[in-house]
Amino acid sequence: MYTQNQILDWQRDQYEHDMRNHFDIISLHKNDRLKHYAMHFAKYAGRLARGDAEPKSIDRTFVDALLVCLSASNTLHQELRHQPMRSNSTFFMRITDASGRVNDAGEKIDHLEPFIDIAREGNQDIFDALLDYSAAQHLDVDSCLLERRQELKKRQFFIR
C-alpha cells in the first residue's frame, strides 16, 4: 500500500520540518531526543487509553504519533518499512506495547545498557500499527501529515 520511496519522502519531509520548526529538540543529544520521543509515545498511549474522555480524536493522535515516529526514525538512523498486519492485537494494545518498549530503551540509556535495537523495534512496531490504522480508517496519510505540519508551522510565527 505504501511504497518505500513514499516512506522515505515522509522521513525526509519530517527532517526538514524538524530542522525548521523543532530545532529545540533537534539540537538535543540523540539520547535525550530518544527520551523525548518516548515521552510523546507514552502521552499518545494515554490519549488512547482515555477513550471518549480524551478531547483529542484518535485521528489526531494517529497523525501526531506518526510525526514523532518519523522524527524518532531519523534520530535512530532507521529506514522504516511498512510491514502490514504483523499483529492481531488492537491498535491500542499495539501502540501501548511498543511505546512501553521505546520507553524501556530510553531508561536503558541511563544504565548504559544496550538500547538501540529495542528503540528501533518499538518505533517500527508503532509505525506498522499507525499505517495499519490508517488503512483500516481509509486515511490519506500524505494529507494528514501535510495538514498537521502546516498547523505546527503556524506556532513558529517568527519563522514564516
In a domain, 32, yes or no: yes
The answer to whether the beta carbons of residues 39 and 105 sit under 8 Å apart is: no
Which pLDDT value is given to residue 159?
Answer: 58
Helix (H) or strand (E) holding 68: helix 58-75
Which pLDDT value is given to residue 148?
Answer: 93
Cα dist from 51 to 56, 60, 61, 118, 135, whole Å: 9, 13, 11, 28, 20
Which pLDDT value is given to residue 24?
Answer: 92
The answer to whether the beta carbons of residues 26 and 19 sit under 8 Å apart is: yes
pLDDT tens figures, 95-104: 999 999 999 9
In a domain, 10, yes or no: yes
In a domain, 160, yes or no: no
In a domain, 131, yes or no: yes
Reading the block at residue 39, the C-alpha cell is 515521552
- For residue 13, what are the domain limits? 4-155
Q: How many domains does the chain have?
A: 1
User: CA 73, CA 141: separation in Å to the nearest integer?
Assistant: 17
Low-confidence stretches of the chain (pLDDT < 50) are none
- pTM of this structure: 0.94
In a domain, 76, yes or no: yes
Which pLDDT value is given to residue 88?
Answer: 82
Which pLDDT value is given to residue 158?
Answer: 58
Which pLDDT value is given to residue 35?
Answer: 98
Which pLDDT value is given to residue 97?
Answer: 97
